[in-house]
A and B are shown apart, each in its own frame.
Chain A
Amino acid sequence: MKKIIKYILLDILRNKIIIAYTLLLMVISMSLFLLEDNASKAMLGLLNITIIIVPLVSIIFCTIYMYNASEFIELLIAQPIRRTKLLTGVYLGLVASLFIATLIGIGIPVFIYSPDTSGFTLLFTAIALSTVFASLALLSAVMTRDKAKGIGLALLLWFYFSFIYDGLVLMILFQFADYPMEKTMLALSMLNPIDLGRILLLLQLDISAMMGFTGALFRDFFGSSQGIIFAAGNIILWMILPALLAINKFKNKDL
């Protein structure tokens, strides 16, 4: 499997898109830090990059790559390799490449301009969301045979997690405005990795406001080590589950 990761990684790095993506992240982050007069405003810009651009690029790039790698997969499937290992290798190769891109594109500017807790939380969130959306991409590529359908599904997933879901939650919130909704909201936030990442960042960037509004429950939850472990466990589940589902489906897929 290590060899497969190696070859996927080499192949992705040879293809210019990931380099362009790294540069794009780098240019955006750098310019945010250089143009904004305070670091916290730059961090807010980066928050938007992290919760919109990073998932979008991750899921689209990985889905397209999965289709383009079909030759690679076909070539290797006839070789004595376990199928699950093959796809896990492809997934980990994708994750590794996105990890490197994010680490360079966002990590370096953060290390230079904002090497504090909020900076590292941002970097961590960006890497986690890249992984989660690579995982979802794997699933959408394995589920659909047709490239256009697969990319459509990927786009839909992204749109759902970044816009539709929050719209629905807002609607639910106002429908049930008379009931205590804090715990429900906490649960709902766990069902969307983007929300989870965003809230982790809010607790860094808007801590003062967060303390005021949802007060105790939030501080107790995300302030305690159990809360952090729970949130981290949840995001790890988001990284693993779709990929596992995809690998399981791939095991019985006809090529």
Chain B
Amino acid sequence: MTLHFKSILIFWGLLFCTIARAATITVYPNQTINAAVQQAKPGDVIRVMPGTYREKGIIINKPIILIGVDHPVLEGEHKYEILTIISNNVIVQGFTIQHSGYSSMDELAAIRLKNVSHVSIRNNHLLNNFFGIYCQHADSCVISGNQIESDGTSELESGNGIHGWKCDHLIIANNSITGHRDGIYFEFVTNTLIFHNNSFKNIRYGLHFMFSHSDTYVKNIFSNNGAGVAVMYSHKVIMHQNEFRENWGSSAYGLLMKEITDSHAEGNLFYRNTSAVYMEGSNRIHIIHNRFLHNGNAIKLQASCEDNIIEQNNFSGNSFDVSTNGSLVLNRFSKNYWDKYEGYDLNKNGIGDVPFRPLSIYTLIVERNATAMMLFRSPIVNLLERAEKILPGITPESLKDDEPLMKPLPL
């Protein structure tokens, strides 16, 4: 995969070499960009001067470079799709693109990439569009440094910030996305890198994956989204060093994994989410070196999950560390640090001598009757928990960490 990214870079290098010979066309506010595109030859640069352009849809059908000077405004007047790219090898940068049309039939976007490859969309401001950047059948494209904002209020009336459908080898980097339905939505998108984006306060998910295999997302921040991040029906997903923060709500998750297999979550931070990680029907996922801080529920592990390994994570300040819905446990917890651990370490090897059972009986009660949460931490509930810890009767015997760490890992 990295080889492929290198080839993309080489391509861009070559493209810039040809610019020297290309012509530059300058567009002023009393002119139209469409006319300039008509006039341009492949490889030309079109410079758009500051101003507002209302063009009822701009179509780019040849490999050109479209540069906005001081962020000229492309206005969609709440009616049109603003920029449609149907040619390979296009660069669009430095525009303010706003007010795309809204339609319940068509998924109108500020920028649409349609059956293209090697397109770069960078450093644009997208304001109050239905969809932000819509990629369909796009290959080897880069979307970077864009600020995508909307003020959507309901799931129906707003589209996704960056939408990918049947794409391959995308790079989505350094974007900031807020106020859309899903910050980033992928369906059938493969071999893609999502790096250093900030997706916050979106109505549904900060990031939403469906049937998207072998994708990597690194160092992103997902915060205050309606339902956090959902990764579904995918395999070989790599999630490294992301931050999942303050995703609150009755069905909000820091990271929801549904039918995910052979994936890897490492070095992530989960801070103050209602449920930090929710796993359902997910197998062979390695969860390592993550920090779970002050979440309502650190890990919700449904009984349909198996062969997952949860090791060397720090769990502190969570209301509940682990909860589950069945008695069968086919996953392994090992060498985690649990702040609720009360055991001892006589041989001083840093590993507690008695196992830790992270499942509290009260999670089971709350699972069955949510209102019981109101009695949480009442002395009578504490008594109940203590009794269960000494003599496990209801909680599954096998859900335990045999080698709990005495001190938190330096993560």
Contact = CB atoms under 8 A, between A and B. Distances in A.
A213 B294 CA distance: 16
Interface string A39-52: 01100100110011
A215 B296 contact: no
B374 A199 contact: yes
Interface residues of A, number: 38
A214 B374 contact: yes
A209 interface: yes
Given A38-B316, A166-B381, A210 B373 contact: yes
B380 A212 contact: no
Interface stretch (B55-63, B132-140, B170-178, B246-254): B246-254
Contact of B379 (A40, A163, A169, A214): A163
A196 to B, nearest CB: 11
Interface in A203-244: 206-216
B274 A41 contact: no
Given A174-B369, A182-B371, A208-B274, A195 B378 contact: yes
Given A40-B317, A173-B371, A174-B369, A166 B378 contact: yes
A20 interface: no
A77 interface: no
Nearest to A217: B371
B25 to A, nearest CB: 54
Among B297, B368, B380, max chain A CB count under 10 A is at B380
A173 B362 CA distance: 14
Contacts of A201: 377
B interface, over-half SS: loop
A211 B249 contact: yes
A121 interface: no
A181 interface: yes
A41 B316 contact: yes
Contacts of B379: 48, 51-52, 162-163, 166
Interface string A187-207: 001000001001101100011
A78 interface: no
A162 B379 CA distance: 7
Given A162-B379, A206-B376, A185 B252 contact: no
Given A37-B339, A198-B378, A202-B377, A209 B319 contact: yes
Among B366, B368, B371, B408, max chain A CB count under 10 A is at B371
Given A166-B375, A169-B375, A208 B250 contact: no
A115 interface: no
Given A208-B246, A208-B272, 5 more contacts: A195-B374, A209-B274, A209-B376, A213-B366, A214-B370
Interface of B: 246, 248-250, 252, 272-275, 294-297, 316-317, 319-320, 339, 366, 368-382, 408
